[in-house]
């Protein structure tokens, strides 16, 4: 790498140039600078992505050899009488979990509006709300497993008893397990959203509010006609990031429920993992990866399109 | 707008003002009340984690649960180190996170320099290529990456935990943005003095761009320290587990020592929380401007 920099001028001898000499010194050096990143991307991003697509066309149960079966994995996932119910359920669960995202945004926005004030001590509150966002999801999951403990000494159950309500099984109840995960997700995801919302709120010029107030706008009008439209891009950004993260959610499921009970919390991301690393059906798992990839790509594409359309007021 | 101002007598203006003051004070008070309540709700799981981590084996199962431990059981924190190789987990997580952070900063800086300060053939294509990596999620590359690790015989080695994360397109873009802000005149002057590119980067640009490097380094460290899925599949032995995986197996063994488990959870999240408090301002600002969380 240093060689190219120390000795920048390529030695040109006669009319017969080597092909790379046509590139010029700057281009060559630039590619040397890009090389470390590029090498990692090629080996661990591009090649695996293509390989995933290829593998999805094979039946490959480790430790056996791969056999080409065309689109059979996809047909199997969507239509097989044993497989399809679980797979469809995992798709439904994925969207069910994603339902937490808009709820999260609503709560986060309300709190951000509350915290968008210059009062003494507001920094402490902001720190407190942000704390869950930097804590590892593994530790958070362990703590919430304890909160959701199904016995009477579990914190949530002890509160229910105090209120005269029946005990719940929480994570072990097929109906309640997913709402439990969503609730924890809201708690742990809120801090990040609040920070982004606060940044968005603070970037709205104060003169706009003053102008509106002079025109006699009340607080609700201010929110509806100034804050909301100007916060639109931020909102959209946070929504798409939240959706993408929700589609990829894995840690909390693996730590808390392992997809259970009765597949009630088995999402696509988790089902992929189960197929690959518990049942060793690499072909089928790759097919799920391809479907998930396409879903994520659509989300990202929508996100970029909205940015293109100039949702960002600048 | 069309208030009949002239008709208000001095006395009524005075009382009006006083009423406004009271109203303002009341609303401030309400604000503190509401925000404090909300904060207590948010803090509750942390509080419960800490309290439980200091309870004895019996008290953990007491009903109704105690809000303050009857006997402060500091031994729980010692038990953690005895019952599982947490020292080893700490070492592994530290080695991996530090290596990834340094590696990422190096590769990102180099690439960012090329994109920010050099003209070369295929620049736009390369840029798009880098950009496209941000759309590909871990799940999609998971199985083939695992196969690569298996074929390289890297499973259960540090390389498997480090090498795939030595590049980061987000980091490249953020650092590039900052490099572009360095004035052209500086580069020309350096060139006139016979300063090569790499030297210009290391001696002139880098010192000017330390804030962005610090925040990118922080993200890399934190993201890696907290990562779960990849370490889960490429480590088998207790010796190679990172903290997160170690914690998961420690708790997932079906035991009931919740006091010790909570102590372990405290130990796992403490380092990042401490770093956060040390560099809080940089942290929040860069998170707000870059919008990065999941690495």
The answer to whether the CB atoms of B196 and A5 lie below 8 A apart is yes
Residues of B in contact with A292 (CB under 8 A): 137, 139-140
pLDDT at A273 over 90: yes
Residues of B in contact with A48 (CB under 8 A): 140-145, 148
Residues of A in contact with B111 (CB under 8 A): 33-34, 36-38
Restricting to B residues 67-106, those with a Cβ less than 8 Å away from any Cβ of A are 106
The answer to whether the CB atoms of B45 and A27 lie below 8 A apart is no
Mean pLDDT confidence for A69-96: 93
Question: Which parts of chain B have pLDDT scores under 70?
Answer: 1-13, 281-295
The answer to whether the CB atoms of B141 and A45 lie below 8 A apart is yes
Kindly report the average pLDDT of chain A as a whole number: 87
Give pLDDT tens digits for A175-220.
Answer: 999 999 999 999 999 988 998 898 888 888 888 888 888 888 888 8
pLDDT at A80 over 70: yes
Whole-angstrom Cα distance, residue B151 to residue A299? 33
Q: Which residue has the higher pLDDT, A26 or A307?
A: A26
Beta strands in chain A (DSSP E): 58-59, 67-68
User: Hey, what are B165's tokens?
Assistant: 């994360």
Q: Which residue has the higher pLDDT, B157 or A63?
A: B157
Whole-angstrom Cα distance, residue A178 to residue A257? 10
- Of the partner residues B169, B228, B262, the one whose CB lies closest to the CB of residue A138: B228
Q: What is the pLDDT of residue A99?
A: 92
The answer to whether the CB atoms of B251 and A40 lie below 8 A apart is no
CATH for the stretch A84-308 = 1.10.3720.10
The answer to whether the CB atoms of B261 and A152 lie below 8 A apart is no
Q: Are A191 and A198 in contact (CB under 8 A)?
A: no
Q: Which CATH class is domain B76-290?
A: mainly alpha
- A114: contact with B, CB 8 A cutoff: yes
- The residues spanned by each domain of chain A are 2-55, 84-308
For the entire predicted model, the pTM comes to 0.86
Report the candidate in A165, A183, A181, A146 with the shortest Cα–Cα distance to residue B65: A146
Q: What is the pLDDT of residue B12?
A: 60
**Which of A17-21, A65-69, A95-99, A296-300 shows the lowest per-residue confidence on average (mean pLDDT)?**
A17-21
Q: For residue B133, how many C-alpha atoms fall within 13 Å in the half-sphere facing its CB?
A: 27
Mean pLDDT confidence for A20-30: 79
Q: What is the pLDDT of residue A15?
A: 54
ipTM for the predicted complex: 0.85
The answer to whether the CB atoms of B229 and A30 lie below 8 A apart is no
pLDDT at A291 over 60: yes
Q: What percent of chain A has pLDDT over 90?
A: 54
Q: What is the pLDDT of residue B98?
A: 96
> Which residues in chain B are classed under CATH 1.10.3720.10?
76-290
- A85: contact with B, CB 8 A cutoff: no
Which class for B73: exposed (0-12), middle (13-18), buried (19 or more C-beta within 10 A)?
A: buried
Restricting to B residues 134-163, those with a Cβ less than 8 Å away from any Cβ of A are 135-148, 163
- A78: contact with B, CB 8 A cutoff: no
Q: What is the pLDDT of residue B208?
A: 87
pLDDT at A4 over 50: no
Give pLDDT tens digits for A220-230.
Answer: 888 888 888 88
Residues of B in contact with A157 (CB under 8 A): none
- How sure is the predictor about A62, in pLDDT bands with cuts at 50, 70 and 90? confident
Mean pLDDT confidence for A76-80: 92
């Amino acid at each position: 790498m240093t060689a190219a920099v120390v000795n920048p001028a390529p030695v040109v001898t006669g009319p017969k140039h080597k092909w790379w000499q046509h590139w010029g010194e700057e281009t060559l050096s630039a590619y040397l600078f890009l090389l470390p990143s590029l090498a990692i991307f090629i080996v661990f991003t591009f090649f695996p992505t293509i390989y995933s697509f290829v593998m999805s066309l094979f039946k490959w149960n480790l430790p056996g050899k791969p056999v080409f079966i065309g689109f059979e994995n996809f047909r199997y996932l969507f239509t097989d009488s044993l497989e399809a119910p679980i797979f469809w359920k995992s798709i439904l669960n994925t969207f069910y979990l994603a339902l937490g995202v808009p709820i999260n945004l609503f709560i986060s926005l309300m709190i951000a509006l509350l915290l968008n004030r210059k009062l003494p001590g507001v920094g402490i509150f902001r720190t407190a709300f942000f704390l869950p966002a930097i804590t590892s999801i593994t530790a958070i999951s362990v703590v919430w497993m304890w909160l959701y403990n199904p016995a009477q000494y579990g914190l949530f159950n002890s509160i229910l008893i105090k209120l005269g309500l029946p005990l719940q099984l929480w994570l072990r109840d097929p109906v309640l397990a997913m709402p439990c995960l969503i609730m924890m997700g809201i708690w742990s995801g809120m801090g990040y959203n609040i920070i982004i919302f606060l940044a968005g709120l603070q970037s709205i010029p104060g003169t706009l509010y003053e102008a509106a107030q002079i025109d006699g706008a009340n607080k609700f009008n201010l929110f509806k006609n100034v804050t909301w439209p100007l916060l639109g891009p931020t909102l959209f950004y946070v929504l798409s990031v939240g959706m993408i993260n929700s589609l990829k959610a894995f840690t909390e499921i693996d730590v808390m429920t392992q997809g259970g009970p009765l597949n009630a919390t088995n999402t696509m991301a988790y089902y992929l993992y189960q197929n690959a690393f518990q049942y060793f059906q690499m072909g089928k798992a790759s097919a799920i990866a391809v479907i998930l990839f396409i879903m994520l790509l659509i989300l990202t594409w929508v996100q970029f399109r909205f940015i293109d359309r100039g949702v960002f007021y600048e | 707008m069309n208030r009949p101002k002239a008709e208000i007598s001095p006395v009524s203006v005075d009382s009006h003002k006083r009423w406004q003051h009271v109203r303002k004070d009341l609303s401030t008070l309400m604000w503190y009340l509401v925000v404090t309540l909300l904060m207590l709700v948010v803090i509750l799981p942390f509080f419960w984690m800490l309290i439980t981590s200091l309870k004895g084996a019996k008290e953990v199962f007491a009903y109704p649960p105690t809000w303050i431990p009857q006997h402060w059981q500091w031994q729980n924190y010692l038990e953690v180190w005895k019952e599982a190789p947490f020292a080893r987990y700490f070492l592994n997580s530290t080695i991996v996170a530090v290596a990834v952070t340094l590696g990422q900063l190096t590769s990102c800086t180099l690439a960012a320099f090329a994109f920010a300060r050099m003209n070369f053939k295929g620049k736009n294509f390369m840029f798009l290529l880098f950009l496209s990596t941000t759309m590909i999620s871990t799940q999609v590359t998971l199985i083939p990456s695992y196969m690569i690790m298996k074929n390289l015989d890297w499973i259960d080695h540090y390389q498997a935990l480090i090498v795939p994360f030595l590049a980061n397109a987000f980091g490249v873009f953020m650092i590039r943005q900052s490099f572009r802000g360095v004035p052209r005149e500086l580069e020309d002057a350096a060139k006139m003095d016979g300063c090569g590119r790499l030297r210009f980067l290391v001696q002139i640009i880098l010192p000017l761009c330390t804030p962005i490097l610090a925040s990118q380094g922080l993200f890399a460290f934190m993201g890696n320290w907290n990562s779960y899925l990849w370490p889960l599949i490429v480590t088998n032995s207790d010796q190679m587990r990172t903290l997160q995986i170690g914690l998961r197996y420690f708790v997932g063994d079906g035991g009931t020592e919740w006091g010790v488990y909570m102590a372990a959870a405290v130990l796992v999240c403490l380092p990042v929380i401490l770093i956060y408090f040390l560099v809080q301002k940089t942290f929040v600002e860069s998170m707000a401007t870059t919008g990065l969380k999941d690495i």
